[in-house]
């Protein structure tokens, strides 16, 4: 059996998106995600010797003064640039086909111009994808998607938070998405045009081009994302990492670990707007979160090979079909 692999991705959601999630006025949002969060993650990954993908929102190239230079630096330092859409519309899957297509194609075009690299992967805002996105992704040259997040505890927690906000009279721009997203496979899979959450059962179904899907990792019901690791702290993250590593020693598995640029920001260390206290992980010190992330990722690296998703062997197999 082949050795297990894992990939690390960072969604570069600027802080104004957090204001939108929590129904807050984004006028006070700073540019800390690009100016501080991304450089901290690049330094962390360099220290650990890990490749990584940064899923970027293309509108930031004009909106964030730091973004263009940092995107080029990411690419020059060997990190993959992924497409996180043009404007990060949380309701991407509810937009007209024409508008949704432009979110995909313009996002890819602008990010390729800024990074001077090929953008192969797409991650939908809010982890919600749809069969109608399949053809625009294929035609625009994407080779994979990493949007599926089949985690029931996360889904339920999100539903409760959004319900509580409605009771308080606040409106989140995020959407919950259909429960069918929970049926997606937990391991990488080829999905046909009928459903992004269903794996093709055999190659005979492959009558049209398709994408490889790399779902965000869930282990024993736990989402392997930066928010959870930050809340667990160093000891909890180390314990979780050792448990996951034991399971990966058998080989043949792939895990896609997900962070956000804001995961290496802190209300205290970075003097962020106090309104962002509604985001629990921002209350934790940066040093503690770095230690937690390092402990978890080091445990995986001891038993599995880190790999950029655009270089995953499944993409070569997909091209050969």
Q: How many CB atoms lie within 10 A of CB 211?
A: 25
* 3-class state of residue 64 by DSSP: coil
CA 59 to chain centre: 17
Task: Encode the chain (321 residues) as per-residue pLDDT tens digits.
Answer: 578 999 999 999 999 999 988 888 888 899 999 999 999 999 999 999 999 999 999 999 999 999 999 999 999 999 999 999 999 998 999 999 999 999 999 999 999 999 999 999 999 999 989 999 999 999 999 999 999 999 998 888 877 776 776 776 777 677 777 888 999 999 999 987 888 999 987 655 555 678 999 999 999 999 999 999 999 999 999 999 999 999 998 877 999 999 999 999 999 999 999 999 989 999 999 999 999 999 999 999 999 999 999 999 988 755 555
Q: How far is CA 192 from CA 94, 123, 197, 198, 213, in A?
A: 20, 17, 9, 8, 10
Integer-rounded Cα radius of gyration of the chain: 19
Cα separation, 236 vs 244, in Å, equals: 12
Tell me, what CATH number does 163's domain have?
3.20.20.370
Residue range of the domain that includes 12: 5-320
For 33, which DSSP code?
A: I
Angle CA(262)–CA(263)–CA(265) in degrees, nearest 5?
Answer: 60
Cα separation, 273 vs 28, in Å, equals: 7
Cα separation, 224 vs 54, in Å, equals: 17
- pTM, two decimals, is 0.94
Cα separation, 157 vs 292, in Å, equals: 22
For 292-303, write each residue's pLDDT tens digit.
Answer: 999 999 999 999
Could you identify the residue written with the tokens 């721009």? Answer: 173
* 3-class state of residue 184 by DSSP: coil
Cα separation, 172 vs 162, in Å, equals: 7
Structural domains in the chain (count): 1
Could you identify the residue written with the tokens 């950029």? Answer: 308
């Amino acid at each position: 059996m082949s050795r297990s692999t894992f990939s690390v991705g960072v969604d570069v959601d600027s802080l104004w998106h957090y204001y939108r999630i929590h129904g807050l006025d984004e006028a006070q949002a700073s540019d800390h995600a690009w100016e501080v969060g991304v450089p901290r993650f690049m330094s962390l990954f360099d220290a650990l010797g890990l490749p990584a993908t940064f899923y970027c929102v293309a509108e930031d190239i004009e909106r964030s003064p730091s973004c263009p230079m940092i995107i080029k630096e990411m690419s020059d330092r060997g990190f993959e640039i992924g497409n996180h859409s043009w404007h990060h519309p949380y309701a991407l899957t509810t937009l007209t086909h024409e508008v949704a297509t432009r979110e995909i194609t313009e996002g890819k075009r602008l990010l390729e111009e800024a990074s001077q690299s090929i953008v192969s992967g797409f991650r939908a805002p809010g982890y919600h994808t749809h069969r109608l996105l399949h053809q625009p992704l294929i035609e625009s040259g994407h080779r994979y998607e990493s949007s599926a997040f089949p985690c029931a505890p996360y889904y339920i927690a999100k539903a409760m938070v959004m319900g509580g906000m409605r009771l308080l009279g606040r409106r989140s721009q995020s959407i919950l998405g259909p429960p069918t997203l929970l049926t997606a496979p937990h391991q990488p899979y080829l999905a046909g045009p009928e459903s992004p959450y269903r794996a093709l059962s055999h190659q005979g179904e492959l009558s049209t081009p398709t994408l490889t899907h790399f779902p965000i990792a869930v282990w024993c019901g736990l989402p392997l994302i930066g928010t959870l690791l930050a809340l667990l702290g160093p000891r909890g993250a180390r314990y979780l990492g050792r448990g996951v590593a034991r399971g990966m020693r058998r080989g043949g598995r792939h895990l896609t670990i997900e962070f956000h640029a804001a995961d290496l920001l802190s209300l205290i260390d970075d003097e962020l707007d106090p309104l962002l206290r509604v985001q629990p992980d921002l209350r934790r010190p940066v040093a503690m979160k770095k230690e937690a992330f390092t402990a978890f990722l080091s445990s995986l690296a001891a038993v599995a090979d880190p790999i950029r998703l655009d270089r995953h062997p499944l993409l070569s197999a997909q091209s050969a079909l």
